[in-house]
Structure 1
């Protein structure tokens, strides 16, 4: 499963790939890559990597294959 989430305000975009176990954070206006997360994204029996921003846009939460949720500060 692939995931896409916009931060509040619409200036930051996060994309995820369950197949590559990678999350990328982008500047929505310029397309510039701001950050990449590839650790602790998990290896479960299904390839899912759901993502969501916190209400203030300062953190990114993502689901892992082992049914836990991780939180990353931006």
Structure 2
């Protein structure tokens, strides 16, 4: 995987993780002020997006390492 692809995966993963965290907080009624506040649907969507973000971050970091011999 090229360096540019790793950086893109990392950036997208971080964005997905933060967005998922915000949506999860709104779904749990921890972050007020939105139509999503208190809606369990956004809890599920937020958790799914956060998991995707974590996977992208792990892939970006694992692909960046080169085996040492």
Q: What TM-score, normalized to structure 1?
A: 0.18
Ranked by relative contact order (alpha carbons within 8 Å, sequence separation 6 or more), the top structure is 2
Rg comparison, structure with higher value: 2
Q: Which has the higher strand share?
A: 1
